[in-house]
């Protein structure tokens, strides 16, 4: 089943979208993230991808209460991301009702990753791989590692990770279309993949579905939905139905 994950990125208590991961290039799309989440559910969203940008980037108080409000108030699964760097934080989010937790920077720590998978199970943990120009980014996309994307994906697959959230930061928020070549490269590692970054319209969803790879579990869509370039109903139809 190919899933449309509706993105709700939160900064300063508001729903925003960043351009290529730049906190200074934020467009505000809503003042009430919980109401936004409920509205997407009402329109048919089957899964939400909620990111606390302040927790990921630092420099501002995290939006913990707001994210918890979404998790507890909506009736669809929620994938929580942003600054989750301890086993205690993972446990707290899952206990609060999150369906899955995404870890990014700490997924590069083999000991931590192994402990997380052992403690919470492969299906509850998503490893976020955020790449720019072929290199994995860390610290809320603000720092570059020296690790190539393929190297990291292979390491995660070997560690037993069930799925990765792969974001091409250079495409994120640009409406320029997803990086299909990079997505196919990630899929070649034999690991479940959620694509993210660049979806501009229904044709991009159709192009991802047309790859025909059962390991491609879905796509995170943000700016295209908020800007009106893509109707959620059309995205769901292209994906093959609700969800």
One digit per residue, the tens of pLDDT, for the chain of length 243 reads 899 999 999 999 999 988 766 777 789 999 999 999 999 999 999 999 999 999 988 878 999 999 999 999 999 999 999 999 999 999 999 999 999 999 988 999 999 999 999 999 999 999 999 888 777 876 544 656 668 888 999 999 999 999 999 988 777 666 788 999 999 999 999 999 999 988 999 999 999 999 999 999 999 999 999 999 999 999 999 999 645
Query: How many Å apart are CA 109 and CA 147, to the nearest integer?
Result: 13
**Residue from 200, 133, 140, 194 nearest 173 by CA:** 200
Catalytic residue among 32, 54, 118, 130, which?
A: 130
Identify the CATH number of the domain in which residue 126 sits: 3.20.20.70
198 near 45, Cβ under 8 Å?
A: no
- Number of independent structural domains in the chain: 1
Q: Please give the model's pTM, rounded to 2 decimal places.
A: 0.92
168 is catalytic: no
Query: How many Å apart are CA 128 and CA 167, to the nearest integer?
Result: 8
Q: In this predicted structure, what is the pLDDT of residue 173?
A: 64
Name the 3-class secondary structure at 11: strand
Taking the CA atoms of residue 156, residue 198, residue 144 and residue 217 in that order, the dihedral angle to the nearest 10 degrees is -10
Catalytic residue among 9, 52, 168, 172, which?
A: 9
Q: In this predicted structure, what is the pLDDT of residue 202?
A: 97
Q: In this predicted structure, what is the pLDDT of residue 227?
A: 94
32 is catalytic: no
Q: In this predicted structure, what is the pLDDT of residue 90?
A: 98
Range of the domain at 177: 3-239
Q: Give the pairing type, strands 135-138 and 143-148.
A: antiparallel
């Amino acid at each position: 089943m190919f899933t449309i994950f509706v993105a709700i990125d939160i900064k300063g208590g508001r729903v925003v979208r960043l351009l290529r991961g730049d906190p200074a290039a934020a467009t505000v799309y809503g003042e009430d993230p919980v109401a936004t989440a409920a509205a997407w559910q009402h329109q048919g969203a089957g899964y939400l991808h909620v990111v606390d940008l302040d927790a990921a980037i630092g420099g501002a108080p995290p939006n913990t209460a707001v994210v918890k409000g979404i998790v507890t108030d909506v009736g669809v699964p929620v994938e929580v991301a942003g600054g989750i760097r301890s086993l205690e934080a993972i446990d707290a989010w899952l206990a609060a009702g999150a369906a899955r937790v995404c870890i990014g920077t700490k997924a590069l720590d083999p000991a931590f990753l192994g402990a997380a998978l052992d403690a919470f199970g492969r299906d509850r943990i998503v490893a976020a791989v955020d790449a720019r120009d072929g290199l994995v980014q860390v610290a809320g996309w603000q720092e570059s590692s020296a690790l190539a994307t393929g190297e990291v994906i292979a390491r995660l697959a070997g560690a037993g990770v069930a799925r990765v959230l792969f974001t091409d930061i250079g495409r994120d928020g640009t409406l320029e279309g997803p990086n299909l070549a990079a997505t196919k490269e990630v899929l070649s590692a034999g690991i479940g993949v959620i694509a993210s970054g660049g979806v501009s319209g229904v044709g991009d969803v159709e192009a991802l579905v047309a790859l025909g790879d059962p390991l491609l579990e879905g796509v995170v869509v943000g700016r295209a939905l908020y800007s009106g370039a893509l109707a959620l109903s059309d995205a769901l139809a292209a994906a093959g139905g609700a969800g």
